[in-house]
Amino acid sequence: MTPSGFVLLDKNPGDTSFKALFPLKRVFSTKRVGHAGTLDLRASGLIVAAIGRATRLLPFVEAKDKCYTFRLHLGYETDTLEWDGDVVVQDDKGVIARSEGDEAISDQSVSAALRDILPNFIGDIDQIPPRYCAVKIDGRRASDWAERGKDFEMKPRRIHIESLKIVGEDGVTEGCSGKCFATFDLECVCSKGTYIRSLGRDLARALGTYGCVSQIRRHRIGNITLERAVKGENLTAENLVPVDKVLDYPVLRVAEDGLAVIRRGNWLPWKDNVEGVGPEGYVFVARENGEVLALCRFEPGRIWPKYFLGGDD
C-alpha cells in the first residue's frame, strides 16, 4: 500500500523542482508524487511535496502566501533577470538619479531611495512575468520560445505583496555578468504567482536604473517554515508528514460506520459545532485514532466528502 502525506523539502540551487522529487519516488517506491509551487532552477528553499492521494491537496497548499529572501543587484539587467545571465542593458553611469553636474549619489542615498519606493509595491499590483519562465504561450513554456528567439508578449498578472523590506546591504556575489553599483538583500511575503525576478527588475526600473537578482530562497509557505524541511539526499520514510500537520483544517474524528459513508461519497449528518472552520468550510475527517482519511466540507448539520485520502491499495 502506497502511503499518503506531505514531504517538506529544502531544494538545492541548480536542481529543477521536478528533479527535487526524485528522492520521494525512491524512498516511497511510487510515481504518484507532486509539489506545490515551482521554484526557479537557481532558487533554493522550501518545496511542499506530496505522495499518494495527498497530491490532491497540493492546490490548497499552493494557494498559501509565501516568504522569500533575495539579493537585488542595481546597475544592469539580463535576459533571464538573474545575476549571471546575458546582459541586455547596463547603466554606464551607475546612478539611480542625476544630481546637478551628473555626479553619482551616495550609497546612503541609494538605500534611502529604495526604501522610499518599497511601499509602492505593497498590495495588489500587476506584474509581467520573466520571458524565461514556465508560463505557457501557445502551448509551450515561455522559456522554450525565448531560447528559440521567438518574439512574444508576456501579459501582466495581478499578484499581491503583503510585505517587502531590506534586510541587508553591500553583499558580495560572485559571477555577476554586469557591473552593479549597489546590492541589497530583501525579504518579500507575497501571493501565489509572484516572480521574484520580475520584482527585482521592477524595483530597479522604479529607481530609474536596471536590476537583476540572485540567491532567491523560499523560507515559508503558509504556516510551514523551512526549518522543518529536509534535504533530498537525507530523506527517509520518517520524513512523511500527516496532511493535518501542513493544512490546518479542523480534524473531526468519526466512527468506522461514519467513515464508510464518507468513503462511498455520501454526506454524513453532523450535529456538533465545529470550531476553527474557515470560509471555505474545509475539515479533515479522521479515524478515532487520529488518522486522517478524507477532506470534507462542513455545513451546519452535515459533512460533505471532497477527497478520500486513505492509502492507495
User: What's the Cα-to-Cα distance from 282 to each of 57, 247, 254, 277, 296, rounded to whole Å?
Assistant: 12, 10, 16, 7, 6
Q: Which residues of 9-44 are buried (b: 16+ CB within 10 A; e: fewer)?
A: bbbeeebebeebbebbeebbeeebbbbbbebbbbbb
Residue 40 appears among annotated catalytic residues:
yes
What is the identity of the amino acid at 6?
F
Give the residue among 35, 36, 33 at the shortest CA–CA distance from 53: 33
The answer to whether the CB of 200 falls within 8 A of the CB of 182 is: no
What one-letter code names the amino acid at 312? D
Q: Which residues on neighbouring strands pair with residue 168, listed in sequence order?
A: 185
Q: Positive or negative, the Cα torsion across 135, 141, 145, 147?
A: positive
9 close to 49: Cβ distance less than 8 angstroms: yes
Q: Which of 40, 91, 202, 244 is catalytic?
A: 40
Whether residue 196 contacts residue 216, with contact meaning beta carbons closer than 8 Å, is answered with yes
**What are φ and ψ of residue 142, in 5° steps?**
-60, -35
Catalytic residue positions, numbered: 40
